[in-house]
Structure 1
Amino acid sequence: MTDLTAAKGVYAIAPTAFHEDGWVDEASNDRYTDFCVESGCTGITVLGVMGEAPKLDMTESVSLASRMIKRAGIPVIVGVSAPGFAAMTSLTKAVMDAGAAGVMIAPPNTLRTDDQIVGYYAQAAEAIGTDVPFVVQDFPQTFSVIMTPGVIRRIVQASPNCVMIKHEDWPGLEKISALRGFEADGSMKHISILCGNGGLFIDFECERGADGAMTGYAFPDMLSDLVRLQAEGKRDEAHDLFDAHLPLLRYEQQQGPTGLAVRKYVLMRRGVLASDAQRRPGVALSAKARAEVDYLLSRVARFDKRADVGGISRAA
C-alpha cells in the first residue's frame, strides 16, 4: 500500500469529463488520466470539489474512480465526502477494493466549534475503517469550517489513519509553518501537506514546507516542474515559471463553476478533453471569456511553449 504520509509532487485534481448531453465521457477521462501521468504527476485525486462529484450517482462515482485507478499506475485518492456516514462508508469500501491509495474527507458546513470538528473526523475515521488512509480537506472558503493548526494537530494525533492535509486555507502560509513546527517539536506525527487553490500560492507554499500540490490547474505539467525545481533548490527558475503562468492561473481561480469552466476550456484547447461541458447545473464560458483565456494562453506561450495550443487537438 502507498504510504501517503510520504506523498510528494503533484496530485492532480481530476475534472469529470462530460459529453454535451451530460453523460460521462469515458474516453476523455481516460485521456486525462494518461495526460497526468505524462505530465509527471505523482498521483491523481478524483471526485473532488472540481470533479462535480455531487452530480454523480453512486454507480457513476464507483465506475469513474475504478476506471481511473486501473488505468493510472500511480496512486489515486478518491473524494468520499457525503452528508452521512452510510454513503461515505459504501463509496470508501468500493474504491478501496478497486485499489485506491486512500480517500479524502471534507467537513460538513454545520461544524462550528473545535470539538465538533475533531469529533466529526474521529467518527469519520471509524466509519470508513481505521485501516483506510484518509486526507483532511481544509478548504474554509468553500466549506465554511475554520480549522486552526491546533485543531488539525488534534485530528492527526487522534486518528492513526490520517495521513495528509489538502491545504487550501487562504491565507495559509503561516499555517504550513505552524504544522511543520509541531512536527519539529514532536507534538504531531509527520503527514504530507499538499496544497490546492489552483496552485495560486504554491511558489511559497513549497518553501514553507508543503510537499507539493493537490489541485487541478490545467497545466499539471507546469506544477510538476515547479515543485521539482523547488526541491532542487532552483528558486529563481521556479518563480520565473510560476510568474509566467500567474495571470492565467489567477483567471482560472474564479470561484465555483466559472473557474471550472475555464479549467475545462483550457484542457479542451490542450486536446485532453473533447468538450468543456459541465453536467447541469453548470455554466459555460461566454465568447468574450473564451477570447480572454485565449489571450492569456498566448501570453504564457511566450515563456512556456506548452501554452501554444494553436488549433491542434489531441482529442480530434
Structure 2
Amino acid sequence: MSLSGVHVIMPTPFDGAGKLDLESLHTLTHFLIEKGANGLVVLGVMGEASKLGEAEQEAIIRETVQAAQARVPVFVGSGAGGTDLAIQKSARAMELGASGLLVAPPPVQNDTVIFNYYQRINDAVGALIILHDYPVSTGILLSVPLVTRLHSELEHVRVIKLEDTPTGPRTSALRKLNPHLSILGGLGGLYMLEELERGANGIMTGFSYPDILQAIYTAYTSGNISLAQKIFYQSCAMMRYEFQPGIGIALRKEVYRRRGAIRNAYVRHPGTQVDETMQKELEQILEFSRLEDLIASLKTGEVSL
C-alpha cells in the first residue's frame, strides 16, 4: 500500500474540564474530510496520547473510524518503549478498524535493535507500517541505509513520515535508493514545497488548514507550480506560528475551535492553554495571511487550480 496526498494528524478534543469530547471528535473527523484530507492519524504526537488512558485511546480509534465511514483511511500511532507493548497496541488498533500504523522507533539507538523491533511488529500484526522519522521527538535517528533495509526486507514497511531535518536532502537521498517508498513530509508543512520538489508523495502533519495543504498539493501535482508557490508562501506565517514547541497543540486546537471543528481548545495538563496574548498574536497572523480569503478564492475560481 502506498500513500500520497494530505494526511492529517488529529488533535484529541477535550471539554473545558479535560474530559474526552467524542462529539467534537466526530465533528473534527467530518471537518477534515470535508476540507480535503486523504487520510487521518489519531494518537500521533499532536493527539496527546501519553495523557490518555487505554480505554480513552481505544475510544478515540473506534469513534474516529466510525465517523470516517471508510471515506478515508484512519491510521493509528502505536509505537511504544517496549516491543511487546508496541505489538499489542498495533494489533488492538487494527482490531478496532485502523487502516495502518504510525510507528515510532524504540528508545534505543542501535540499528539491529530498531530493525528487530519493526520486524517483530511487521510479522506479528501484518498491517501497513508508517515509519515515524522524527528524532526531535523520539531521540532516535533512522539512517538512510536502515530505512532502505526496513523497506526492502519488511513487507509492510511501505511509508515514512519524514521529519528529520534538513528534510529536502534527506528526501532526495531516500528517493534515490527507494523509488517505491511513500515519503510524506511533516513538521507543520514548513518545507512542503521543497519536499514535493525532491520527490515526496505528500504530507502527514497537524497544520490546522488541511484545505491549504491540499491546495498546494493539488496545484503542484497538476503542474501549476507558480500557484503552489503562491499558496505555500502565503501560508508560511501561519505554519511558522503554529509549529511552536510547547504551545503548538494549543494553537492548533484554538484554530480548529474558531473554524467550528471542535468546541473547546483545552489541552490536558501539563500542556499550555492559549492565553490572551497568544489570541492577539494569532488574530494578527490570520489577518495578515488572509487564509480564509485564499480558500474562498480557490473555491470560486478567482484563483484557479
Q: TM-score, normalising length from structure 1?
A: 0.89
Alignment equivalent of 1:262, drawn from 248, 251, 269: 251
Note if 1:274 corresponds to 2:270.
Answer: no
Partner of 2:302: none
Q: 1:187-208: CA deviations, max 9, x gaps?
A: xxx1211111011100111111
Residue of structure 1 equivalent to 2:278: 289
Structure 1 unpaired stretches of 5+: 185-189, 308-316
Q: Describe the superposition over 1:49-103 as per-residue Cα deviations: whole angstroms up to 9, x where unpaired.
A: 1100111111111111111112212101101112223432333222212321111
* 1:41 counterpart residue number: 37
CA shift for structure 1 position 149 = 1.2
* 1:121 equivalenced with 2:115 (yes/no): no
| Residue of structure 2 equivalent to 1:138 | 133
Query: Helix, strand or coil for the counterpart of 1:95?
Result: helix
- Which runs of 5 or more structure 2 residues have no equivalent in the other structure? 297-305
Higher deviation after alignment, 174-183 or 136-145: 174-183
Q: How does 1:114-263 map to 2 (within 5 A)?
A: 114-126=111-123, 128-129=124-125, 131-184=126-179, 190-255=180-245, 257-263=246-252
Matched letter for residue 17 of structure 1? P
| Equivalent residue in structure 1 for 2:97, among 79, 96, 99 | 99
Amino acid at match of 1:159: L
**Is the contact between residue 244 and residue 303 of structure 1 (CA under 8 Å) also seen in structure 2?**
no
Distance 1:94 1:117, change over 3 A: closer
- Structure 2 CA distance, aligned partners of 1:148 and 1:234? 33
Matched, 1:300 2:289: yes
Instruction: Please list every run of at least 4 consecutive aligned residues from structure 1 whose deviation after the TM superposition is greater than 4 angstroms.
Output: none
Please tell me the root mean square deviation across aligned C-alpha atoms, in Å: 1.6
8 Å Cα contact 1:226-1:241 kept in structure 2: yes
Whether the 8 Å CA contact 1:135–1:166 is kept in 2: the answer is yes
Aligned residues: 294
The one-letter amino acid paired with 2:104 is A
| SS of alignment partner, residue 233 of structure 1 | coil
Quote how far apart the aligned CAs of 1:304 are. Answer: 3.4
Secondary structure in structure 1 of the residue aligned to 2:178: helix
CA distance in 2, matches of 1:229, 1:168: 23
The corresponding residue for 2:12 is: 16
Alpha-carbon offset, residue 305 of structure 1 = 4.5
Question: Secondary structure in 1 aligned to 2:247?
Answer: helix
**1:164 aligned counterpart, secondary structure:** strand
2:75 counterpart SS class: strand
> How far apart, CA to CA, are the structure 1 residues paired with 2:200 and 2:212?
17
Q: Percent identity of the aligned residues? A: 33
Tell me, yes or no, if the aligned pair for 1:58 and 1:91 is still in contact at 8 Å.
no
Contact 2:144 2:174 in 1 (8 A): yes
Say if 2:56 is the partner of 1:60: yes
Q: Secondary structure at the match of 2:166?
A: coil
The C-alpha deviation readout for 1:201-258, integer Å capped at 9, x for no partner, is: 0011111111111001010010011111110111110111011110111011111x31
* 8 Å CA contact retained: 1:77, 1:100: yes
Which deviations, in whole Å up to 9, do the C-alpha atoms of 1:101-145 show, x marking residues without a partner? 111110133x2233333233223323x42x211111000111111
